[in-house]
Structure formats: structure tokens, C-alpha cells
Amino acid sequence: LELSEARHFKTAGAKEWSACIISDFHAYDPLPGRLEAASAMMDKVFEYDKETDWVLHLGDVCAWGGSYSFWQNLYENEYFKKFMWAGVNGNHDNMSRKYELTNQYFKNASFYPRNGYGGEEGVCYFFKYNDALFIMLNNENMRETGGLEAAMQWVRKVIAENPSRYII
């Protein structure tokens, strides 16, 4: 088992901060232009805001989550090395090439906080960034009443136990 390079990011303390938001670039090694286009978009954001602190992704950063080489190459991108990334999974992040869906690809390729609820640890998670509480949910698991109810109970508990000026 080969371990990846450890990366550490400060997640609190800044009085003012800004984040870049990106999604759905579907990194796919045979078509490197997808990740190049995402990087070019981020170049523009960082050109405008040189003080950007971190990146929020809204899912589907990988074309096929079950292709771990896509995740490996994605995490070699300069922006993944330079910034803290927080994100949610999309259906493509959960997808094998046979269209089988599981959040394990997203969970195992990333290392988000394991503070979520049963079966969703590392996929659903929360973190505080200064006076903001970020709660990341797995909408792929909230299509049915049971998944939605479990998420709602967890969100209520997280908010009650983590007083914050802003809740996102």
C-alpha cells in the first residue's frame, strides 16, 4: 500500500476569507482538457481574488469515481496541492464504469472528516471555518424518506452542538 503525501490546512482563524466554488468538471484522464479548463477557470478566480483561501466543490469532479487513477491524477493538480478543498459527492463521483453507484469511491479517494452519521462518515461531514459552520450532505442518499430523515436528524444535532454565526 502506497500512501499519498500528507497535506495539512488551517481551517479557522481568518477574520475575513474567500472561497472559490467549482463543480462538474468531470476529470477524465483520456480528455485532459477537462481538468485544464477547470484550472483555467480557477486561474481567473485567483487573478481576481489573490487572497482566496480555499476551494469548495459541488460534486462531479471525477468522470468515474470508480477509476482511482482519475482521483490520483486530480490530486496531483497544483490547485489540489495548494488549497484546502471541501466538497460534496456527485453521482459521477459515486459511479463505476458499469454504472454501479456507491459513495465509497468518494469516501476512500478523499479524506474528509469522518464526523458524519451512520454509513455516511467521510461523505457527509461538517467543519468550521472561522465563524461559519459548513455541513456537507450526500444528496445521492437523500432520495428516499429514510436517508432524508437520517440527514435531517444529523444536521439538527450538528447545528445544536456547533454554535456558529453562519451555517452553510
pLDDT, tens digit, 9 for 90 and up, residues 70-90: 999 999 999 999 999 999 999
List pLDDT tens digits, range 115-149: 999 999 999 999 999 899 999 999 888 888 999 99
* For the chain, percent of residues with pLDDT exceeding 90: 78
- For residue 61, pLDDT over 80 is answered with yes
The answer, yes or no, to whether residue 1 has pLDDT greater than 60, is no
Q: pLDDT at residue 20 above 80?
A: yes
Residue 9 pLDDT exceeds 60? no
What pTM was estimated for this model as a whole?
0.87
Average pLDDT taken over every residue of the chain? 91
Residue 44 has pLDDT above 60, yes or no: yes
Residue 157 sits at φ, ψ, to 5 deg, of -65, -45
Adjacent-strand bridge partners of 21: 56
Sorted by sequence, the CB contacts under 8 Å of residue 24 that are 6+ apart come out as: 58, 59, 60, 61, 90
